[in-house]
């Protein structure tokens, strides 16, 4: 939303060896060829684009405002450049209304030539029992596609396999807000949870907390969420996060098997 700040962060990260990665997340509306070229020139930048599946479901989740271009159509105009850009991860948001088509939407995105994915079921919103059933079936279909891709030697990266946090969706660790306050989580950056910022604050840049205090307050975040959110919303969040966790756990053996197979293939010398 403030491109100059983003560019400044990317420039600073490139100058500082202790910074490994900068994650730039976008719905795609602000992307253009200049931005993609800037990402390609930044070896530390990971570009995450929200693209939720087939046009109908993506537009259902990403309603355009007057004067704002259609998100799906805009990203499609940049698709050739996106496919040439390294470290692009597609976030497939799975809302309750589209959960039943999650596998079909995943297949659509793969059909565009995309192969790095992050799955994001809708957190902190209500889910009906039949929608949970649809998500379970959708994840089963996605798992089948991933296993088949790996067995066929196709490229397919699932970022969820390498991400673990005690609080669904939100970051855990040292979080510095724009007002220089320090928190153990970024839950307060969500509009509906803004009231938690006062409870999660553990210090400021001028008066930083101890590691022990940061860890102690971090352990309290889930309890705060349970007390703040309607019970059915917190329960739904835990349920969909549990289904995503089950998907990852189910895929780990296949992931390590395909890694081993690729290593053997690289080390095998085939005589002419």
CB 75 within 8 A of CB 109: no
| Strand 203-204 relative to strand 181-185, pairing | antiparallel
Selection from 24, 193, 19, 173 nearest residue 123 by Cα = 193
Q: Is the dihedral of CA 34, 37, 41, 46 positive or negative?
A: positive
Please list the residues that pair with 175 across neighbouring strands: 183
CA-atom Rg of the chain in angstroms: 20
| Residue 194, pLDDT score | 84
Domain ranges for the chain, please list them: 3-163, 172-218
| Residue 60, pLDDT score | 85
Determine the Cα–Cα distance for residues 35 and 8; give it in Å rounded to an integer.
13
User: What are the structure tokens assigned to 212, written together?
Assistant: 């022990």
Determine the Cα–Cα distance for residues 108 and 111; give it in Å rounded to an integer.
5
CB 218 within 8 A of CB 235: no
* pLDDT tens digits along 51-100: 999 999 998 888 766 776 788 999 999 999 999 999 999 999 999 999 99
Q: Which residues of the chain have pLDDT under 50?
A: 271
Q: How many CB atoms lie within 10 A of CB 89?
A: 18
Q: Which CATH superfamily is domain 3-163 in?
A: Aldolase class I (3.20.20.70)
Q: Is the dihedral of CA 107, 109, 114, 116 positive or negative?
A: negative
Question: Which residues have a Cβ under 8 Å from the Cβ of 252 and sit 6 or more positions away?
Answer: 161
| Residue 249, pLDDT score | 97
User: What are the structure tokens assigned to 74, written together?
Assistant: 């805009």
Spell out where the chain has E strands.
Answer: 22-26, 45-50, 88-94, 116-121, 157-158, 172-176, 181-185, 203-204
């Amino acid at each position: 939303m403030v491109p100059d700040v983003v560019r400044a962060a990317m420039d600073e990260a490139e100058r500082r060896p202790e910074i490994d990665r900068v994650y730039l997340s976008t719905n795609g509306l602000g992307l253009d060829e200049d931005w993609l070229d800037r990402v390609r020139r930044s070896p530390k930048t990971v570009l995450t684009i929200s693209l939720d599946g087939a046009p109908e479901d993506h537009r259902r989740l990403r309603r355009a405002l007057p004067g704002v271009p259609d998100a799906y159509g805009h990203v499609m105009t940049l698709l050739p450049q996106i496919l040439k850009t390294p470290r692009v991860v597609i976030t497939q948001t799975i809302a309750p209304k589209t959960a039943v088509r999650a596998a079909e939407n995943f297949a659509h995105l793969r059909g565009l030539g995309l192969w790095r994915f992050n799955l994001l079921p809708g957190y902190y919103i209500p889910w009906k029992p039949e929608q949970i059933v649809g998500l379970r079936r959708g994840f089963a279909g996605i798992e089948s596609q991933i296993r088949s891709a790996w067995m066929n030697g196709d490229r397919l990266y699932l970022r969820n396999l390498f991400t673990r946090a005690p609080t669904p969706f939100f970051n855990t660790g040292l979080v510095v807000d724009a007002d220089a306050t320090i928190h153990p989580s970024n839950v307060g950056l969500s509009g509906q949870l803004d009231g938690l910022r006062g409870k999660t604050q553990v210090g400021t840049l001028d008066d930083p907390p101890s590691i022990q205090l940061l860890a102690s307050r971090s352990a309290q975040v889930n309890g705060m969420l349970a007390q703040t959110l309607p019970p059915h919303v917190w329960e739904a969040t835990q349920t969909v996060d549990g289904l995503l966790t089950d998907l990852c756990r189910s895929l780990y053996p296949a992931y390590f098997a395909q890694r081993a197979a690729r290593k053997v293939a690289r080390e095998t010398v085939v005589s002419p």
